[in-house]
Amino acid sequence: MKKKLLLGAGVLVVGLLAFFGRDLIGLYRLLAHIEATTEAYEAVGPWPQLADACFGCHGDKGSSQHQRYPSLAAQPAAYLSTQLERFAQGQRSYPNMGPLAMTLSAQEIDWLASYYASQPAQANQAFEPDPALRERGAALAASGACAACHGQALMGQAHFPRLAGQGADYLLAQLDAFAQGRRIDPSGSMQAVTATLSPADRKALSHYLAALAPTAK
């Protein structure tokens, strides 16, 4: 009798695994992912963390896959801290960023800048560039000597941001803002560069930069 019960239980388990196996594996993977991400989160500090407010727009660890919002990951810390300070002081405007930046202390700005600067950059996989625009943008980036300020592979340096792999809509919006005087670069470089670009040129440049795969620093 006992053997029959054990055999029956074994058959039942096998049957359940056969019927629900894929779902059970999926659930196991989900639980493992939750556990891993929770451990990674808690390694930075307890909830809530300062960077939590940035997640909605700028993505997990600062890698945005939304073309409208910039990725913060692997941006130079000096650039990030300067931009937060400019938002806080009203020297740069965006509806969400001004009020948020004004709540940050100098220490919190430094922490955020260092945190995102240390995160690895991810490719902009959500964007499919127009091949002709991408080719035209590559020529414009070379002739405009973008690397002189934005560093090797356009990964950013010092107070100049990473352009490689940024959102196409964000890049175009910033190029338009510089060209139209709605955003000011204290060095004057961006105003000078964008003054020579037509709207079509700026779109081509944004396609090239958005599709440019970031490199490891």
**Who has greater pLDDT, 74 or 47?**
74
The domain segmentation of the chain, as residue ranges, is 1-39, 130-217
Residue 14, both tokens: 């096998």
pLDDT at 43 over 60: no
pLDDT score of 65: 86
Where are any strands of DSSP class E within the chain? none
Distance of CA 123 to the CA centre of its chain: 9
Mean pLDDT of all residues in the chain?
88
Task: Tell me whether residue 70 is exposed, middle or buried, using C-beta atoms within 10 angstroms of its C-beta: 0 to 12, 13 to 18, 19 or more.
Answer: buried
- Check if CATH label 1.10.760.10 holds for domain 130-217: yes
Among the residue ranges 12-16, 37-41, 190-194, the one predicted with the least confidence is 37-41
User: Among 210, 62, 206, which Cα is nearest to 124's?
Assistant: 210
Task: Tell me whether residue 148 is exposed, middle or buried, using C-beta atoms within 10 angstroms of its C-beta: 0 to 12, 13 to 18, 19 or more.
Answer: exposed
What residues are paired with 174 via a beta bridge?
none
pLDDT at 33 over 50: no
Q: What is the C-alpha to C-alpha distance for residues 172 and 169, in angstroms, rounded to an integer?
A: 5
pLDDT score of 52: 93
Q: Average of pLDDT values for 84-110?
A: 96
Encode pLDDT of 135-185 as tens digits: 999 999 999 999 999 999 999 999 999 999 999 999 999 999 999 999 999
